Amino acid sequence: MWKVLGVETVIPAIAGVWKERMLELSKKRKDGKRFQEMISKAEVRYIFDPAKEVSTFVVNLPEKYGHEDLDFLKTFVNNIYKSISYPVVEYDGVAQLYTVIFTTEKEEDGYAFRRKHRKEILDIMERSAQELKKEKE
C-alpha cells in the first residue's frame, strides 16, 4: 500500500493527499500562512516514473509568483521534510525516491491550439496538396 506523508492512499489520490498533508504540517510553522495561501492556489500533479522508480510532485502555481516565492516554497518544504519521522513517499513499508517541482509555467495545450486553428491548418494543407498536384502535372 502507498503512503504519502504518513497517510495511506491509492495512486490517483496521491497528489491531493500530498497537498492536504502539507497544509496540515504547515499550520504551526513560522510563515505557515504564506505557504498555505500559495499551496491552496496551486495545482498539484503526481507522476511516477516506473523506469527510475521516482515519484514526482509537480506544483504548478499561478504566474503571479516569482523566483523568490519559489525559493521560499523550496526551503519551507525541505524544512517540513526534515522535521517528520516518516518517509515522504512509501510503498509496502519501503521509502521511495521522490522529487518536488515548483513552477509557474503553464503547459501549452497543443490539442486546443489545433482545434482553435483547424480551418487555417486545413486550408494550408489543401493549398499545399494542390501545389504538389500542379507540380506533378
Quote the pLDDT of residue 89: 94
Whole-prediction pTM value?
Answer: 0.74
* Greater pLDDT, 47 or 136: 47
pLDDT digits (tens, 9 = 90+) for 92-118: 989 999 999 998 877 666 777 777 777
Q: Is 97 in contact with 50 (CB distance < 8 Å)?
A: no
Quote the pLDDT of residue 107: 67
Residue with cell 502507498: 2
Q: Is 67 in contact with 104 (CB distance < 8 Å)?
A: no
Q: Is 103 in contact with 58 (CB distance < 8 Å)?
A: yes
List, in order, residues 6 or more apart from 54 with CB less than 8 Å away: 48, 96, 97, 98, 99
Quote the pLDDT of residue 109: 64
pLDDT digits (tens, 9 = 90+) for 26-67: 998 888 899 999 999 999 999 999 999 999 999 999 988 888
Cα 51 to its chain centre, rounded Å, is 19
